[in-house]
Amino acid sequence: MRIYGHKLPAMSSLLLWALLWEIIGQTGATFFVPPLSEVFVTLFKIIGTPAFVTALTETAQAFLAGVFFSIVIGIPTGILMGKSRLLDELLLPWVNIFVSAPLTALVPVLMVLFGFGLTSIIITTTLFGIWIIILNTRAGVRQINRSLVEMATSFGASPLDAFVKIYFWAALPEILGGVRIGVIRAVKGVIIGQLLISIVGFGALFELYASNFLMTHFWAVLIVLFALAFSISEFLAYLERKVAYYAAKR
Partner 1 sequence: MSQTRQAFDDAQPSDQDIAVSVRGVSKNYGAVEALKNMSLEFPRGQLTSLLGPSGCGKTTLLKIIAGLLKPDSGEIIVNGKAVSGPGPNRAFVFQDFALLPWASVLRNVAFGLELRGVPRSEREAKAEKYIRDVGLAGFERAFPHELSGGMRQRVGLARALSVDSKVLLLDEPFSAVDEQTRRKFQEDLLALVENENKTFIFVTHSIEEAVYVSDQIAILLPRPSRVSEIIRPTSFRTKGVGNIRRDPEYLDIVDEIWASLRNYVE
Instruction: Give the interface with partner 1 as residue ranges (CB under 8 A).
Output: 145, 147-148, 150-157, 161, 165-166, 169, 172, 243, 245-246, 249-250
Distance of alpha carbon 199 from alpha carbon 181, whole angstroms: 26
Distance of alpha carbon 211 from alpha carbon 69, whole angstroms: 33
Between residues 46 and 171, which has the closer beta carbon with respect to partner 1? Answer: 171
Between residues 114 and 168, which has the closer beta carbon with respect to partner 1? Answer: 168
Between residues 73 and 157, which has the closer beta carbon with respect to partner 1? Answer: 157
Between residues 11 and 160, which has the closer beta carbon with respect to partner 1? Answer: 160
Taking the complex as a whole, the smallest distance from the CB of residue 9 to partner 1 amounts, in Å, to 32
Taking the complex as a whole, the smallest distance from the CB of residue 250 to partner 1 amounts, in Å, to 6
CA–CA distances in Å: residue 217 to residues 32, 56, 91, 139, 225: 11, 14, 43, 42, 12
Distance of alpha carbon 132 from alpha carbon 189, whole angstroms: 13
Taking the complex as a whole, the smallest distance from the CB of residue 166 to partner 1 amounts, in Å, to 8
Q: Are 217 and 46 in contact (CB under 8 A)?
A: yes
Between residues 44 and 155, which has the closer beta carbon with respect to partner 1? Answer: 155
Taking the complex as a whole, the smallest distance from the CB of residue 233 to partner 1 amounts, in Å, to 23
Taking the complex as a whole, the smallest distance from the CB of residue 145 to partner 1 amounts, in Å, to 7
